[in-house]
Amino acid sequence: MKMKMKMIIKKYRNFIIVMIISMIVGGILGGVSDKISKMDLSFGANMSEFLFKALFAMSLIITIYLIVTIIYIKSNYMKVDLDNIPKVLNRKVSNAILLCTIQAIIGLTWDAIVINKSFDDGPLYLILVPTIFIIIAASLLTTAMRYFNYLYPNRKMNLFENGAEKKYFDKLDDGEKWVTYTCSYTTFNKMQMVYTVGLVISILLSMFINISIEVPILIGVIWIIQNLIFSFESRKYEEE
């Protein structure tokens, strides 16, 4: 009986430790939150203005870096031996494609924030600023892809083609597909952790400041959708 108990404790040791720590931290936070009067962090005009400036600075830095990178690629890509593409150039091209994508996402989020704030009573012309950054990111992405297509003629990408990502994936060889599989699986697993941490942070912060209920709902919904997609996709391959 004692042995069995010891084995159970050993098996679930880490889980028990984490639970005990969580209970203590939860208790402390609960006690503290009761004593501190709730702050009201307004997500109104001030926050909107701050986000506008922050996203502008971020987009400007990314765009300048992208332009410098594209200039570097442009002045070097014609000189390289296509059988031995230098690591630096390879890295710069993939970095440029990644950053253009991130910049486009930032631009869309920024647009959403501006529209949300300005639709009723704000200056609607401000939508132009993020939109210009999206257009710049799209044109830089097209340029970066043109260089990529020159360096890797067997794996040409076309941003505007239907099912472009699938067609690109089909062009990869065995090893590259394996790399994609490994990276995707790691991303999936790490995103589970990101959703957990996001939800826990939103719960903890909601003890002290007013957080919109949309935040945990949105995280939860995205988390569920991701798991459903994974589950349905994997079921397709279970059939005999």
Partner 1 sequence: MELRNRVKELRARYNLSQGELGKLADASRQTISLIERGDYSPSVLLALKISKVLKVSVEEIFYLEGVNENENEDDNKKI
Q: What would the x/- binding string for partner 1 be over residues 175 to 194, using CB under 8 A?
A: xx-xx---------------
CB 233 within 8 A of CB 188: no
CA torsion 228-232-233-236 (nearest 10°) is 170
CB 223 within 8 A of CB 194: no
CB 208 within 8 A of CB 39: yes
| Alpha-carbon separation of residue 140 from 73, 97, 130, 144, 162 (angstroms) | 12, 8, 15, 6, 20
State in angstroms the smallest separation of the CB of 46 from partner 1: 49
Measured in whole angstroms, the distance separating CA 154 from the mean position of its chain's CA atoms is 29
State in angstroms the smallest separation of the CB of 85 from partner 1: 8
State in angstroms the smallest separation of the CB of 95 from partner 1: 16
Closest CA to 138 of 168, 110, 75, 96: 96
CB-nearer residue toward partner 1: 83 or 240: 83
Residue 83 interacts with partner 1 (CB under 8 A): yes or no: yes
Closest CA to 52 of 130, 121, 120: 130
State in angstroms the smallest separation of the CB of 82 from partner 1: 9
Among positions 119-178, residues that touch partner 1 (CB under 8 A) are: 172-176, 178
State in angstroms the smallest separation of the CB of 52 from partner 1: 41
CB-nearer residue toward partner 1: 53 or 177: 177
Instruction: Indicate which single residue of 84, 162, 189, 234 sits in contact with partner 1 (rule: CB under 8 A).
Output: 84
CB-nearer residue toward partner 1: 33 or 76: 76
State in angstroms the smallest separation of the CB of 14 from partner 1: 29
State in angstroms the smallest separation of the CB of 59 from partner 1: 32
| Token pair 């472009």 in the structure block, residue | 164
CB-nearer residue toward partner 1: 92 or 117: 92
CB-nearer residue toward partner 1: 85 or 127: 85
Interacting span for partner 1 (CB under 8 A) from 11-19, 77-85, 161-169, 203-211: 77-85
Please give the Cα distance from 98 to 141 (Å, whole number): 9
CB-nearer residue toward partner 1: 187 or 210: 187
Q: Residue 209's beta-bridge partner residues?
A: 39
Tally Cβ neighbours within 10 Å of residue 78.
8
Binding site for partner 1 (CB under 8 A): 83-85, 172-176, 178-179
